[in-house]
Amino acid sequence: MLINCIAYCDGKKLADIEIDEISDYLKRPDCFVWVALRDATPAELEKMRVEFGLHALAIEDANHGHQRPKLEEYGDTLFAVIHLLEMEHREITIGEVNVFVGGNFILSVRNRSGQPLVGVRERCEREPEFLKQGSGFVLYALMDEVVDRYFPIVDSLESELEDIEETIFERGAARHNIERLYELKRRATLVKHAVAPLMEAVGKLASSRLSPIAASSRHYFRDVYDHLTRINANLDALRDTIGTAIQVSLSTVAIEQNDVAKRLAAWAGVFAVATAFAGIWGMNFKLMPELQWEYGYPMALAAIAAAMGFLFFRFRRLGWL
């Protein structure tokens, strides 16, 4: 679906144009065309390929989707893939924006995402002195907008980890915490997969190792690279902390199991004394101690109770019961 197709000249909006007019405007000096598509069909992408002279392999990647974040150079055209992340009810969904950048045009194709990027165009049109730099600045603005949306997601993951850490030593909560930690680690890995490859690609733009299209906006790409570096470092720290928290949770499980084992051993020791006394006095011999005494039976019960009580309080003092 076509969102908009606009021609710009000297940093200012020239006109909304039809797709068939794109090639005509591309021939004008100091003019570039910005087209935005959403969930484009193969027929729409083929039309764009013809109008902009795009490489067939890049169009194929845009058609198939589900690409790893990357930046590729096809002659005098750049092809960038950026992941759009959305979090709803603690679940992360992954969209994608494919960007084709030439010296006098930029084409963005947004797929599987409900996040609009119209704010990028409004920002660029408010800053004609930057927009006159052409498609390189627009590519920066798109990347900057997407990367800025990563920060709230990372903050949400960190807040969730803090909530788990507050309950990590609660008795009986270890299993639930481990499940939450593994789920949190999975989501952190999804964000990592979006950030790390993109950081590598933006690093090339910041150092101007690719097409001169981005040369005039090199400093801006360096700012995006710094943001990605910070996000990447936060994700690494988050994953390390999650790993530590999982180990602590497993240790609490072992401690709880040890406490249960100690209780069982203590109670077994208490009743073992009673069993020993009962076994001795229960033997069938005529010459048993205190067998003919009137108070022999009560005294035997009292001795058993006293021994059991002594062991009970002894184990209680040791913290086993």
Residues 59-76 pLDDT 10s: 998 888 888 999 998 888
Q: CA end-to-end span of the chain, whole Å?
A: 70
Report the distance separating Cα 161 and Cα 154, nearest Å.
Answer: 11
Distance of CA 152 to the CA centre of its chain: 11
Q: pLDDT of 79-124, one tens digit each? A: 999 999 998 888 899 999 999 998 889 999 998 888 888 888 888 8
Contact partners, residue 2, CB within 8 Å, separation at least 6: 19, 35, 36, 37, 44
Q: Which residues of the chain have pLDDT under 50?
A: none
Second-level CATH architecture of 257-318: Up-down Bundle (1.20)
Contacts of 175 (CB under 8 A, 6+ apart): 253
Compute the distance between CA of residue 40 and CA of residue 56 in angstroms, rounded to an integer.
Answer: 15
Q: Is the dihedral of CA 117, 148, 131, 60 positive or negative?
A: negative
Query: Hey, how many other C-beta atoms are within 10 angstroms of the C-beta on 183?
Result: 13
The pLDDT value recorded for residue 194 is 94
| Residue-level pLDDT at 11 | 82
CATH class of 1-129: alpha beta
SS3 236: helix
Residue at token pair 């090639």: 23
Q: What is the pTM of this model?
A: 0.79
> Given this model, what pLDDT does residue 321 score?
66
Q: What is the pLDDT of residue 284?
A: 58
Q: What is the pLDDT of residue 94?
A: 92
Q: What is the pLDDT of residues 36-52, one digit of tens each?
A: 999 989 999 999 999 88
Parts of the chain belonging to CATH 1.20.58: 257-318
Count the neighbouring beta carbons within 10 Å of the beta carbon of residue 79.
22
CA–CA distances in Å: residue 272 to residues 82, 309, 310: 69, 12, 13
pLDDT (0 to 100) of residue 45: 92
The residues of the chain that CATH labels 3.30.460.20 are: 1-129
